[in-house]
Amino acid sequence: MAQSPSESLLNSLEYEELLTLFNDFEGDSLAQEKIARTYLERAKVDGDTVKVARGYDRLARIFHPQKNLLYADSLIAYTKDWEHITYPGLGYIIKGYEYFLLDDIRNEFLNNKIAYEQSIRSKNLIHQVFLLDNLSKARVEWGSASKALELQILRHKILTSKEFYKNFRESTRKEIRNNLKYLYSKEIIDSYRNFVIIYSKIEDYILAKKYLDSINLELKDFKGWDYNYYKNWYLDAKMETSFYTNNFNYCVFLADSILKNEIAHFRSNYFVKNAYVYKGLALSKINKNYNGIKFLLMADSIYSYKNINSSLKSDILLFTNLNSFYKEQKNHKNQIKYLDKLLYLDSISMVNYQFIEPEIIKSFDTPVLLQEKEAAILQLQQENSLSKRYLILGGGLLLFLLALSALLYRQKILFKKRFKALLQNNPQETPAAGPSISEEIIEDILQKLKKFEAGAHFKNPEVSLNFLAKKFGTNSTYLSKVLNVYKEKNLSQYLNDLRVAYAIEQIKEDSNFRKYSIEAIAKECGYRNATSFSRAFYKKTGIYPSFFVNEWNKQLNERSLS
């Protein structure tokens, strides 16, 4: 949709048409809020309680997680005494999803569990299948694989029943029923994936291969837009299974297939990282250790804590092997680096296991890792003591570093002042005299610029003056003049200011965003590389984005401790 729907249009639509329009504006929270509130207010006037609940559940899907959680709580409070097939269960499902986005495993699991109990009471098979999927994944990742298998067997039994397919068809909105085969096929593939994950966890690779074959068979007739994702997931799981069944050459072949496909299309660091890990491990097993280490280091270079919940097994393998390599090389500095990463993974696991499966904590190797780290630190200190002969050279270097530190300290003080200034609201801009074009054209361009900003379309890296002028239905000369006079900027400055402001807002509000690398933040904001982003950020704020992220994290930590 090019623009937000008008009040007259919304008032002319029936309830179902409003819900369809709501879906059409996915990603545009301003338009979706307008539609959902129209739906909600009309339902209140009509006294239709079910439709009022639908209005609340639409509002609970369109904002940031904290706000969505408030609307989900409103939905639950409104429907708490209902005996309804959808409500209040859907409210708990929404809360589980929002806590997933916040990396809050405990509350995600708790709300999914409550929702599942609701779905059993309401006999909602659609909700049961969805929630059993989430609960089994939580169990296999942070608990008992055998308990996860029980849940998954039950899920697959419900999923493949005639009653479920009938309910699935009836609950699918009419406008997308032509995609019913695709949607149901996705559910079947996801179910087979769960079996693969669980059987791999309990090291039953014969059954894991059986379900991998089932996925491959299902993919032959799969026509979905996400075919490539499922195909690469299949190759990724087959690669892992090949490694654990000692088929190392085939493992390398599959890793190369994934890398060729993923890197060519710039899709997912998750699959690329896993391919590097298992290729490196497989090469090490076939006596090409140094070549193998090269790929493990490549995996580490693109490692992200963002996907920790979905790749913990390969992450532990990665850091364990790099730790062992540097230990053999007597490179204690790097050994300590990877021991710290293993300890971090251990701490994350311990928090989540403590809630879902506390008895498993007993099997953790934290004390062993701490002992190994202490030994490495001691060896590093002993090696350093042998370097006293370089004391004079070291003294000179120390003086240089002190001078550099003083310089950096002064720079840090300056950056902190700029950081504090950045957190304050900027004064409103006052336009200069208008250009020699009609008021109607000026107002039209300004309104379109407002929608362009509200929709965050500035994140498109392809935006240029001609591109934007064509989109606005005007010419580049008029657009340039309006920008220069009313925004007091050229297009490049205008885009940079919007993108930097968006980056600052996301870093402050979104905990997941703060975990991104600077390269990832740059691309998310519309830049092609981290260098251009950092340069624009510094020019606008006087500090670099990495400094802003670190300082903001410090402030949040200080607030949580106070």
Go through 478-512 and write b for each residue having 16 or more CB atoms within 10 A of its CB, e for each that does not. bbbbbbbbbbebebebbbbbbbbbbbbebbeeeee
Other residues' Cβ atoms within 10 Å of the Cβ of residue 527: 24
User: Residue 459 pLDDT > 80, yes or no?
Assistant: yes
User: What confidence tier does 428 reach under pLDDT thresholds 50, 70, 90?
Assistant: very low
Beta carbons of 544 and 534 less than 8 angstroms apart: yes
- Dist CA 267 CA 259 (whole Å): 10
Measured CA to CA, the distance from residue 306 to residue 523 in angstroms comes to 16
Q: Does 384 have pLDDT greater than 80?
A: no
> What single-letter DSSP state applies at residue 26?
T
Does residue 378 have a pLDDT over 80?
A: no
pLDDT, greater one: 123 or 363: 123
Burial level of 60, CB count in 10 A (0-12/13-18/19+)?
A: buried
415-423: list long-range contacts, CB under 8 Å, 24+ apart: 415/542, 415/543, 415/544, 415/547, 415/551, 416/551, 418/541, 418/542, 418/543, 419/541, 419/543, 419/547, 419/548, 419/551, 421/542, 422/504, 422/541, 422/542, 422/543, 422/548
CA 107 to chain centre: 18
Give every CB contact of residue 352 below 8 A, 6+ residues apart in sequence.
105, 106, 141, 142
pLDDT band, residue 351 (cuts 50/70/90): very low
pLDDT of residue 433: 42
Q: pLDDT at residue 309 above 60? A: no
CB atoms within 10 A of CB 264: 8
Alpha helices in 357-490 (DSSP H): 366-385, 391-423, 439-454, 465-472, 476-486
Query: How many Å apart are CA 501 and CA 497, to the nearest integer?
Result: 6
Alpha-carbon span 41 to 35, nearest angstrom: 10
| For residue 110, pLDDT beyond 50 | yes
Q: What is the pTM of this model?
A: 0.59
How confident is the model over 493-513, as pLDDT tens digits?
Answer: 999 999 999 999 999 888 888
The pLDDT, as a whole number, for residue 92 is 96
pLDDT for position 189: 95
CA dist., res. 96 & res. 104, Å (int): 9
What φ, ψ does residue 304 adopt, rounded to 5°? -135, 135
Q: DSSP string of 168-210? A: HHHHS-GGGGGGHHHHHHHHHHHHHHHHHHHHHHTT-HHHHHH
Residue 179 is predicted with a pLDDT of: 79
> Is pLDDT larger for residue 372 or for residue 514?
514
In this prediction, residue 313 carries a pLDDT of 75
Specify the length of the chain in residues: 562
Report the alpha-carbon distance of residue 452 to residue 249 in Å, rounded: 51
> Most confidently modeled of 166-180, 274-288, 301-315, 368-382?
274-288
pLDDT band at 308 (very low <50, low <70, confident <90, very high): very low
pLDDT at 271: 87
Confidence of residue 405 (pLDDT cuts 50, 70, 90): low
| pLDDT of res. 395 | 57
Q: How confident is the model at residue 93 (pLDDT cuts 50, 70, 90)?
A: very high
Window from 22-26, 34-38, 148-152, 215-219 with minimum mean pLDDT: 22-26
Task: Read off φ and ψ for residue 455, nearest 5 degrees.
Answer: -85, 0
d(CA 351, CA 358): 9
Q: Which residues contact 264 (CB under 8 A, 6 or more apart)?
A: none
Give the chain's mean pLDDT: 83
Q: Which two tokens stand for residue 68?
A: 């969505």
CB 204 within 8 A of CB 163: no
Which of 129-143, 404-418, 493-507 comes out lowest in average pLDDT?
A: 404-418
Q: pLDDT digit string (tens) for 43-81?
A: 999 999 999 999 999 999 999 999 999 999 999 999 999
Lowest-pLDDT range, 338-342, 381-385, 443-447?
A: 381-385
Share of the chain above pLDDT 70, in %: 80
pLDDT digits (tens, 9 = 90+) for 525-538: 999 888 888 889 98
Q: For every residue of 477-527, which 3-state class applies, written as one string? A: HHHHHHHHHHCCCCHHHHHHHHHHHHHHHHHHHCHHHHCCCHHHHHHHHCC
CA distances from 295 to 251, 308, 312, 324, 470 (A): 14, 19, 18, 15, 46
Which amino acid does the sequence have at 105?
Answer: I
CA distance 164 to 170: 10
What is the reported pLDDT for 160? 95
pLDDT in tens, 163-181: 999 988 888 766 666 778 8
The answer to whether 217 and 241 are in contact (CB under 8 A) is no
- The answer to whether 491 touches 468, Cβ cutoff 8 Å, is yes
Section 233-242 average pLDDT: 94
- Per-residue burial over 127-163, b if 16 or more Cβ lie within 10 Å, else e, is bbbbbbbbbbbbbbbbbbbebbbebbeebbebbeeee
Half-sphere exposure of 524 (CA within 13 A, CB side): 19
C-beta separation of 200 from 241 below 8 A: yes
* Separation of alpha carbons 43 and 49, rounded Å: 7
Cα–Cα distance, 515 to 117 (Å, whole number): 34
